[in-house]
Structure 1
Amino acid sequence: MAPKKTKSKEKKGTGEATSISAIFATERERYLQKEFAILSEHISTYTQRSEHFKSENEFLDKEAQQIRENSKAYLTYLAKRTIRCQDTIITLNDQNRTDLANVLKQKEELTAQYTGKETEVRSQLIEMETKYSLMNKEVEELKPFKELQSEQLNRMGSGSPKPLFPSAQANASYISSGSNATSSPYLETLDWCNWLTDCFSSISTGTTHTWSREGNSGFFTIQLLSALQVP
């Protein structure tokens, strides 16, 4: 009888073990299903993120390609601009040299021109100073005539004018004494006055006038500048 109880106990233990295993299997299955759902959700999330990153990567690749193309175009532009600037610098240097040569040439021409004008002006100044000196000299030489005129005017303005030149009575007395009438002082003085009047009345502007006359007392010369005002 004892062996039968042992077998029943073994069967009972085996059934309990199978029941426990089934419970554990069910719980593990649930856990695994839960894990699978979580992992599936993660995979979906990561897949979406991967797609997003992939699209961003493609966009960045396009941007990088565009930047490379722009950089290449900019470098090409810089190279061309550098060459053009160098050519411009060379051209400007040549132009500057040409302009500088022209300026120096003009400077030499102007220097020569104004040197000639300076010489001409100096000559004119010296000539004017010489004329001024001559005019002062002639004015000094004409002072006796001025004094003579003033004396004559004073005598004419006084109550009893005294004759400056020989009178007609003196001329008659000179002739009656037996002297030549043509050489009388009265006629000679009158002739000289008429000659001086003709000389002064013929003065014109812009020239120098010279008159010469030979009288009984010698050879007489008058030279006047046109700038001189004869009263």
Structure 2
Amino acid sequence: MKICAFPVEIIRDVLDIFKPHYIEELELFTNQVLSFLRHFAPCLGHMRNLPKFHLHHIYLNSDRVVNTLADREKNSASKFLAQFSKLNCLQHLSMNWIYLSTDHVKQFCRYLKTPLESLSITHSHLSQSLLKHLSGCQSLRQLKYLNLNDIVLSTSHPTGLQLLLKNVADFLRTPELQHCNPEDSHISFLLPALSQCFQLTRVNFYDNNFSMAVLKDLLHCKVNLNKLTVEFYTAPVE
């Protein structure tokens, strides 16, 4: 089911016909933001057999509102995120153009109960603190696929991403870090964690500006990863 900014009343009428517990893949795209999510939350909570969930253009950052609106929007976001505790079959989650505060990431990690196989967060801003909270999420420890394409890494220290890679090293098969604009120092900092991901079969570092020296170090750190068969890099400027 794909939902694109319909009034909640219509969605509820549709879900009276197509029962929520039968839905196996949901794509949610709305610019009505928290007022929509507050009313949609109970519908999401009934999708107990949902393994695939895609969210697009969802704004959950309540810092932009003031006074009583702030409390209302904060409660709406919390009510929506709380439904993740009921998604007992969730394995694949993608979030594109999503805006999250630190509190929202904490709630997400607390409510997420099932081990995810794949996580995709793209075209979004992940600060150092957000990455650290994600790295501590127990439900992400068995990730096989991690997509962080178009996440700008050059503006923060890569400690959070390093911790996340370390924590998923036993299961991770495919990291996607395309167009993240990391500094050479960021990549050098991640090399020890990447070298311990022995299950890797594919890596994607395309559309990043590496120096020749860092690219050599990146290639060298993976010489013992025997399952790795596909690699994508941009040719260095040199």
TM-score by length of 2: 0.14
Rg comparison, structure with higher value: 1
TM-score by length of 1: 0.14
Q: Which structure has greater strand proportion?
A: 2
Q: Which structure has greater helix proportion?
A: 1
> Which protein has greater RCO, CA pairs closer than 8 Å, 6+ apart?
2
